[in-house]
Structure 1
Amino acid sequence: MTTRRTFLASLLAASATPAVGWAAVGDPTYLAAAKLANGSYMLAGLREDGSTAFSVPLPARGHAASAHPKRAEAVGFARRPGTYALVVDCRDGEVLHRLAPPADRQFNGHGTFSPDGSLLYTVEQAVEDSAGHIGIWDAAAGYARIGEFASHGVGPHDLRVMPDHQTLVIANGGIQTDKWDRAKLNTDTMRPNLVYTALDGTLLESRELPDFHQNSIRHLALRDDGLVGFAMQWEGEPGMAPPLLALHRRGEELVICEAPLGDELGMDGYAGSVAFSGDGSEIAITSPRGGRIHRFSDSGRFLGAVSRADVCGIASHAGGYMASDGLGGVLLVGPEGARPLARAEAAWDNHLVPIAV
């Protein structure tokens, strides 16, 4: 029987228990990896105003991260090809788990949680032939590896859980790399593809590019209604100006988003990140090589360019987009252009990852 004394004691204990949700680390909206001025590396949480909510150390350069939807816990992925993925308590930087792929695999820089946070999916490729795999980890059981399935392509890089919570979309870059020095072995014959699978890996749909097969599909953006945007990186002859963004909805044809020739040339064949705007009416890609952001409507019409040196990270924001650059800048991008929000003494890496709670 619960007495008044034990009841009061339980209330006191509950009130003294520290919060474990994202509010406990300042309510960040995004995760971003960065290199600090002293040469060390960190994973940070950023708020919508660009301020830093928290930062925790990383042992080496990070690429992207995945935020647990319920706990102030993140998985930081090494720059590809990587052999580490760290599960970090964002309150104090404690490394809770160190994940490693099977001996014949490498991580490829990205992963994502299931919507309820029970599972983590990691993007991997075989060391020998770059065949793609998706690893499955049980977050409730200490991130035990419980399965895997084929990505149905070569050189996968990014993946997302679709809004139906029953489907994965996977970006297979198509590039086979040498197991020792990452040299690209098949750029003449590469076949990148966008793949949809069931959660058990069953192939549901696969789309290849009708032209420009040397455009490696790299990063994904996903709208709430299931519209997918993907950013590409050109692996063909230098000096060409292929489109670097496409849209797709399951069961339909790809929509290739083209900018005017001069603008495409300015991207230098490289789109680093992609995101839908906060209201979903448009989509943008970044190019750190070209120092540009390209905006398109959700039907693929080019809306304009924004210049920003070494810009790469981009994510949805209530005011349009939040973007980050290698000079420590965080900016708000909208129809009227870009304006600075904050600057850190750090070089932000490739991605701004939204925290979905």
Structure 2
Amino acid sequence: MTTDPNVAIDESSGATRLVVTGDWVSTQATAVEEQAALLARQLAGDGSRTQDVAIDLGEIGRLDTVGAWVLDRARQEGAADGRKAPFVNTRPDHLLLLEKVHYREVERPPAAGHWRLIDFLASVGESVVDFGREMGRGVSFLGEVVAGLARLVVHPGRFRFPAFVNQMEQTAFRSVPIVTLISFLVGCIVAQQGIFQMQRFGAAMFVVDLTGILVLRELGVLLTSIMIAGRSGSAFTAELGSMKMREEIDALRVMGLDPVEVLIVPRVLALLVGLPMLTFLASMAALLGGGLVAWIYGGITPDIFLARLKAAIDFSTFMVGLVKAPFMALVIGIIASHEGMAVGGSAESLGRQVTASVVKAIFMVIVMDGLFAVFFAAINF
């Protein structure tokens, strides 16, 4: 049978004691809070009391974590002026519970400043510092991957070929349908818009030059890299992050295996090999789409399209896109793997790192494409 919690004052022994009785459990939360408030007021008194006041728990009934936490909170709030209010006549199990659920003040963050300009500048500075730290961690991780590749070159027997083949299937072969379809549609759109604009000047034939050069130099590798960053990059981060959450990566280290060699190197190598092949297929699909639209929409027959395309481009135009592909693959693989290894122990952390992986990879792919464009223009290639 549950009895109501109660607090009574006992001064029979010459010293003031607060005797706690009844059951201080969660099922009587309202009564517990009321009696705890009374206990705190009795401890505080009118401010003139100077002696310590003991809290006698010898007659208390049942006590759970809620009751213990509320009792300790009331004790600390009532004795906030520095006087002591110890628990006395406490049973060992109650004493252990009171120690475990000890009440602690919550630290409040400092109040935000009111100068918006200063807050904005501070935020910009923090972002710059965070970016620098992230770049440093990325370079360090790149060094780990390069070191892992070097160890595999020295000891080829440690290379996990089945893992590499599996990653090639996942990242390259299974990406062929979506990559070729999107590239085909983009080629159609580029040719259609080019014909629509150029026919006003009687130069519809130049759409072949536009489509060929734009697809082979820029669009083929750029579209492929963006799609791979969204598809395979996010998969890398999610896979590694899930393994990090389940402590599988720590288990590999305990077994004496290097997670970089086992998990990351096969993925990066698969991207390095697969992305140039996907770029080639994407470029061919885009040219096919452009040629089809030019035939239907502009009256440019396939033989004329191919002849004009052959005159407009050369081998260097074709190689520009393929040269970029391995660098794009390396960037995607490093960012995706690094974000996966940075996942914490929560699902929120996993979702945050997957999002960061895709955003950073796409951003860096576009930045690298711009840098390559400036470089090739500077060397007139």
Larger helix share, 1 or 2: 2
- TM-score tier (shorter): under 0.3
Relative CO higher for 1 or 2, CA cutoff 8 Å, sep ≥ 6?
Answer: 2
Please report the TM-score for the alignment, with normalisation by the length of structure 1. Answer: 0.19
